[in-house]
């Protein structure tokens, strides 16, 4: 497996801790020692950065009804047909894996 980078590992934490009614931003910062600025940057990435990527533009058509961008990553996890959260997380990370590698410049 390729090294996925900091973005993917933090994404795992946020995906696991993002269900409706779960930990607030303050609780996430305290529990994982995540600076508020980092958490804000990640939320912006999920809600603005990811949806703007060519990869996501192609992938979003696979989800009907469309995912609720304001609820990412949770809205993505909810779409995978698996009972266990770890299985849904695995499916989501596999879907997003191409984002963790750099595309060769042509």
The pLDDT tens digits of the residues spanning 50-86 come to 899 999 999 988 899 999 998 888 888 888 888 887 8
**Six token digits for residue 53:** 């990527």
**What are the pLDDT digits (tens) for 41-50?**
888 888 898 8
pLDDT of residue 21: 44
- The domain in which residue 37 lies consists of 6-99
Which segment of 11-25, 65-79, 89-103 scores lowest on mean pLDDT? 11-25
C-beta of residue 87 within 8 angstroms of C-beta of residue 81: no
Please indicate, yes or no, if residue 76 is contained in any of the structural domains.
yes
105 inside domain: no
Which runs of E-coded beta strand occur in the chain? none
Burial of 28 (0-12, 13-18, 19+ CB in 10 A): buried
**Is residue 43 one of the residues assigned to a domain?**
yes
Instruction: Flag whether pLDDT at 2 surpasses 50.
Output: no
Q: What is the pTM of this model?
A: 0.69
> What angle, 0 to 180 degrees and rounded to 10, lies between the N-to-C axes of helices 6-16 and 85-96?
150
């Amino acid at each position: 497996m390729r090294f996925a980078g900091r973005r993917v590992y933090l994404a795992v934490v946020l995906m696991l801790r993002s269900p409706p009614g779960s930990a607030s931003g303050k609780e996430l910062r305290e529990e994982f020692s995540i600076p508020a600025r980092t958490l804000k940057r990640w939320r912006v990435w999920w809600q603005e950065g990811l949806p703007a990527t060519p990869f996501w533009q192609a992938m979003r058509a696979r989800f009907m009804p469309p995912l609720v961008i304001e609820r990412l990553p949770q809205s993505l996890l909810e779409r995978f047909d698996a009972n266990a959260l770890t299985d849904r997380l695995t499916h989501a990370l596999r879907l997003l894996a191409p984002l963790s590698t750099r595309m060769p410049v042509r």
